[in-house]
Amino acid sequence: MISLTNVSRVYAGGVVALDGVDLEVEEGELVAIVGPSGSGKSTVLNVLGTLDRPTSGTVRLAGYDVGRLSDARLSALRASRIGFVFQHFHLAGGTPAWRNVADGLLYSGHRAAERRRRAVAALERVGLGHRMDHEPHELSGGERQRVAIARAVAGDPPLLLADEPTGALDTVAGAGVMSLLRELHAGGTTVVVITHDRDIAAGLPRRVRMRDGRVEDDSGRETPVVAKVG
């Protein structure tokens, strides 16, 4: 589905965030990328998600060499292939849950009625059908993260990238979010979770451990891959 080949990312001042990273994520995998702060794991997510271009090396997404795509084509590919979930939700205050989800589809080309239909279906999928008219301040942290996940999957992307999705949650809410991500994976979505929490990583079938911008260990790759539904 997506691969990095000898990818490096160097920022201003010579700060090396990634140093020759090779990484492949196959369709249907559930992967944890784990490491301490400064290990390069969030930069890997940004490169995997085509939010950041590498300084050197090759990134391929769905068969396309990302480095050869224009910004417009890359944005279109990203919108159709990848859903993003972040630690701090990024929901619009004063806006009901269904609209927060529907607004994530503004550039999908769907009409307003279809965006709302997809938003409602996504909220029901994450167990929030009864909370779709509630605004973020009326929801718990776990519920807000579920809204964010619903927004990420409303367009039915085959790849979901989650950056510290439990980092702002208590233990119970965090466990609920991880259970939801496993359910989405079981339904055919490829899921990559960025985390500093080794316990969360240990519960996932494949674990990529990073340190100092390099892949230090990649375990669990032999786990059978779940076929994409549809």
Task: Encode the chain (230 residues) as per-residue pLDDT tens digits.
Answer: 899 999 999 998 899 999 999 999 999 999 999 999 889 999 999 999 999 999 999 999 988 999 899 988 888 888 889 999 988 888 999 999 999 999 988 877 788 999 999 999 999 989 999 999 999 999 999 999 999 999 999 988 999 999 998 888 888 888 998 999 999 999 999 999 999 988 899 999 999 999 999 999 998 765 444 444 33
- Residue 227 belongs to a domain: no
pLDDT at 95: 95
Start-end of H helices in the chain: 41-48, 71-81, 97-102, 112-125, 141-153, 171-186, 198-202
Work out the burial of residue 169: count CB atoms within 10 Å of its CB; fewer than 13 is exposed, 13-18 middle, 19 or more buried. Answer: buried
Return d(Cα 230, Cα 66) in angstroms, integer. Answer: 25
| Residue 205 placed within a domain | yes
* pLDDT of res. 167: 86
The predicted pLDDT at position 20 comes to 95
In a domain, 230, yes or no: no
The count of domains in the chain is 1
Owning domain of residue 184: 25-54+70-219
Other Cβ atoms less than 10 A from the Cβ of 176: the count is 20
Does any domain span residue 76?
A: yes
Q: What is the CATH number of the domain that holds 186?
A: 3.40.50.300
